[in-house]
Structure 1
């Protein structure tokens, strides 16, 4: 088994598309800015993030509402330079809600939300010296 992608069900597809492409800088697969589906890939790594219009999945399953309540996901992205990346995405409109801060002895994190309120965690792993 392998992870193919994390898919987020969103209500405002264009706003979320712009966030993942323009603010976070992930590469869209097809450029489908209006939806109903798009996959984004980081510069490195195999797994990606996909957006899917929430109403499309509601039709398929007949059980999801048009809007989510509470935190329904946490997208985790690893970056090499957490402080620098946070500065760059803040210049492009991201609002960092926590950090950058040390989380463990080997990891620093920062958190932000996409336009739908999905949490995004940025991680920077540090080598242990000793």
Structure 2
């Protein structure tokens, strides 16, 4: 019996797949915009309100194909009260993971985000796995890392 590889060899059978959007849980869209737009320098792509919901999408300048949705932990009309409370508790404890951004000027961006008043979790540090990185908490409590390849 012939043993088959679980992955196709070369380009045969490969799909073109790219990240389009990811979600970051927030508890206050305006505070989140102060961090993601004003401190990090992301562009606001969409900011739409409908009834009790608000859909805010930001993204890196020059990368229009990538969107980060700042998603409310309490706005989902399909979530139970227990689910909303659990999500809010995890968010407040900083247990929901955010994203890792990369930049060519880590130290400059660190200074800008620090000056915004964001909580610093880690100052720029050279890591043994080939990056220099730092970490912050956004206003909702998410850990946001920023790195630069060494």
Shorter-chain TM-score category? 0.7 to 0.9
TM-score, normalised by the number of residues in structure 1: 0.81
1:39 aligns with 57
Over aligned residues, Cα RMSD in angstroms? Answer: 2.1
Give the equivalent residue in structure 2 for 1:68: 89
C-alpha spacing 1:120/1:55, structure 2 compared with 1 (3 Å): same
Aligned pair 1:9/2:30, yes or no?
Answer: no
Q: TM-score, normalised by structure 2?
A: 0.72
SS in 1 for 2:96: coil
1:24, distance to aligned residue in structure 2 (A):
1.1
Which protein has the larger Cα radius of gyration, Structure 1 or Structure 2? Answer: 2
Stretches of structure 1 lacking an aligned partner (at least 5 in a row): none
Structure 2 gap segments, 5+ residues each: 1-16
Match in the other structure for 1:56: 75
Contact preservation (8 Å) 1:114, 1:120: yes
Q: How does 1:100-115 map to 2 (within 5 A)?
A: 100-115=124-139
Q: Number of residues paired by the alignment? A: 124
Separation in 2, partners of 1:36, 1:48: 15
- Runs (4+) of structure 1 exceeding 6 A deviation are none
Contact 1:86 1:96 in 2 (8 A): no
Give the CA deviation at 1:40: 0.6
The farther-off stretch of 41-50 and 14-23 is 41-50
Find the aligned partners of 1:2 and 1:24 in 2 and give their Cα distance: 23
Q: How far 1:44 sits from its partner (Å)? A: 4.0
Q: 1:29 to 1:114 in 2, by over 3 A?
A: same
